[in-house]
Structure 1
Amino acid sequence: MDELTPGRYYASEQYLLPADEAETARLGLQHRVFSKSFENRISLAPLNLQSGGRVLESAAGTGIWALEFFKESSKNGIVLDMECIDISDKQFPQKFPPNVHFSVRSVIDLPAEWNSNFSYVHQRLLVLALDDSLWRKVISEFFRVLLPGGWLELVEIDTSCYRDYVGPCTNSLQSLALSMFAEKGIIVDMANYFPPLLEETGFVDVRCEVRRVRIGQSGENGYRSDEIGNFFRGLKRDVVNGGGYGIVRTEEDYEELLKGCELEWNIHSDEAYVYHYAFLARKP
């Protein structure tokens, strides 16, 4: 295939999506859709936080979730102490309250002094960064840093764009994505993967909340087609490096495939959708 189009910044080889201005804008739109899909709630855990309580957000990215959660808690008279970590600071906000702390850290190796420190741990959208062995390390780390009685919330989007046949372009894109994810060990069947892993680690009260989210032209009840298209554009580096996985040959082929998918999603919005998952678990 052709050389990768310049201009996108990737924080690591492991994480498949970029960490640049275009991705920051996309994540802002995605945050809106996630919140709306869960009835305008940004947290589903049954929390009983008090002022001074410590909250950890992993894979903080732009900080949009953390800052909104902090603001919402403050309105209820609860001033939290929040740690927000990511492997890159490229998307960190420029301004934030003094009780919210951003730092560059890896979730697979949290500080030893964080043992039993947090009442709530939240992580969103890291499925494209971790294989089974890394997920096991991450869940173990979360268990370690949570206080007894503390809650973990993992929020993810599934890695497919349909459950029924939508069209030939969507079918080809799905084949490409599944081949790439299989090669990299990305977890696809999250609903059957996470609950047993959480219980095996020692968590209790494990449950999963699922929402089906439409893809269509207006994005009124979900994602606009171009928003999902831009998600897949962010995967171009690894599509290119993988030689197109037998589906596309050039970057131009890949772009044409995505445009074809967007057209199919606009036409068949009743069949095009993704799932949002929220996995909840408590440390006994």
Structure 2
Amino acid sequence: MAEHGQKRYYASEHYPLPADEVETARLNLQHQVIVQSFENRLSLVPVELKSGDRVLESAAGTGIWALEFFQEMKKNGIILDVECIDISDRQFPAKYPSNIRFSVHSVTDLPAEWSARFAYVHQRMVLAAMNETRWRQTITEIFRVLASGGWVELVETEAKHCHFDAGPSSTKLQLIQFGLYNDKGLRGDTGAYLPPLLEEIGFVDVRCEVRHSPIGQSGEKHIGFSGDEWGQVWRGLKRSIVEAGGYGFVKSSEEYEQLVDESVAEWDTNPDKVYNIYYTILGRKP
């Protein structure tokens, strides 16, 4: 767990979460939570990939999804050609198979030579950086780089209709999130917003799968985030929230840390009341 006073590294002004070792551990845990939420499936795309197919993972982060998906397909005798991109290389793995490549790119501006290259594009948890302009650029670029018949899979959470207000402190934290998203012009209603956007840009067979994941669970069978694990998200957001003035709820870094501590206690004592909503949104390029 990150110490409260630990200095964090941030790779982008657009993306409010850090890109450091603490965040690497949180992202790997988040990967497990999301995969578990979708019945331990790494992918929901209804396509039979074959050896040599090209796959793009956008917002690859630590690369954990790409590494696991590559190995899963390899066990079935399918060797994919996987391209992983992110806006920072700070969290890329040190070792990976030669059929996987990592590079620094923004999904809003992919290389021109990638047009119609990929059979499948996977992207996960970028909503905290995405206003309507960047979402439109992102979906347009993904559509361009997909080959005809290729699929996109977007995995996101709900940030508008939230359910982690277990008491007075976590309710304040939830209101702070609404203030942050409104301030930055971000779309929190990803489940309602993204499917029509995909259809507008040209995708067909668009659909959305929804799952709930508890917060505050602990014990031998780990389901969802524990209170402290969910609190790590909010500790990572501290820079953006404090620099914005605390949205009327906190005035200093110390007050914010106290609010997160109090929220963690509320989540851990009310695990039946709080949960995250995850969406998997699918679309096919004609």
TM-score > 0.5, shorter chain as reference? yes
- The residue that corresponds to 2:179 in the other structure is 179
- The residue that corresponds to 2:229 in the other structure is 227
- The residue that corresponds to 2:130 in the other structure is 130
Equivalent-residue separation in structure 2 for 1:237 and 1:164 (angstroms): 21
- The residue that corresponds to 1:245 in the other structure is 247
- The residue that corresponds to 1:167 in the other structure is 167
8 A contact 2:164–2:275 mirrored in 1? no
Report the alpha carbon displacement of residue 170 of structure 1 after superposing the two structures with TM.
Answer: 1.2
Equivalent-residue separation in structure 2 for 1:164 and 1:136 (angstroms): 29
Specify the code of the residue in structure 2 equivalent to 1:273. Y
CA-based RMSD of the aligned residues comes to 1.5
Equivalent-residue separation in structure 1 for 2:154 and 2:98 (angstroms): 25
Equivalent-residue separation in structure 1 for 2:164 and 2:130 (angstroms): 27
Specify the code of the residue in structure 2 equivalent to 1:234. G
Match of 2:269 among 245, 261, 267: 267
- The residue that corresponds to 2:279 in the other structure is 277
Report the alpha carbon displacement of residue 158 of structure 1 after superposing the two structures with TM.
Answer: 2.1
- The residue that corresponds to 2:15 in the other structure is 15
- The residue that corresponds to 2:40 in the other structure is 40
Equivalent-residue separation in structure 2 for 1:116 and 1:162 (angstroms): 37
Report the alpha carbon displacement of residue 163 of structure 1 after superposing the two structures with TM.
Answer: 3.1
Report the alpha carbon displacement of residue 45 of structure 1 after superposing the two structures with TM.
Answer: 0.7
Alignment length, in residue pairs?
281
8 A contact 2:116–2:146 mirrored in 1? yes
2:147 matches 1:147 = yes
8 A contact 1:216–1:265 mirrored in 2? yes
8 A contact 1:211–1:276 mirrored in 2? yes
Percent same amino acid among aligned pairs? 57
Equivalent-residue separation in structure 2 for 1:164 and 1:110 (angstroms): 36
SS in 2 for 1:193: helix
1:159-198, Cα deviation, whole Å (9 max, x unpaired): 2695385211111001111001111011111111001100
SS in 1 for 2:225: strand
- The residue that corresponds to 1:80 in the other structure is 80
- The residue that corresponds to 1:236 in the other structure is 238
Q: Where in structure 1 do 4 or more consecutive aligned residues deviate above 4 Å?
A: none
1:191-218, Cα deviation, whole Å (9 max, x unpaired): 1100110000000010001100101141
Specify the code of the residue in structure 2 equivalent to 1:171. T
8 A contact 1:161–1:273 mirrored in 2? no
SS in 2 for 1:200: helix
The within-5 A match list for 1:88-107 is: 88-107=88-107
Equivalent-residue separation in structure 2 for 1:217 and 1:239 (angstroms): 26
Specify the code of the residue in structure 2 equivalent to 1:262. V
- Higher mean alpha-carbon deviation, 181-190 vs 194-203, is at 181-190
Unaligned runs of 5+ in 2: none
SS in 2 for 1:218: coil
Equivalent-residue separation in structure 2 for 1:88 and 1:204 (angstroms): 32
Equivalent-residue separation in structure 1 for 2:267 and 2:161 (angstroms): 9
SS in 1 for 2:93: coil
Equivalent-residue separation in structure 2 for 1:164 and 1:44 (angstroms): 27
Equivalent-residue separation in structure 1 for 2:258 and 2:6 (angstroms): 18
Change (3 A) 1:81 1:164: closer
Change (3 A) 1:135 1:161: closer
SS in 2 for 1:128: helix
- The residue that corresponds to 2:114 in the other structure is 114
8 A contact 2:157–2:190 mirrored in 1? no
TM-score (norm 1): 0.96
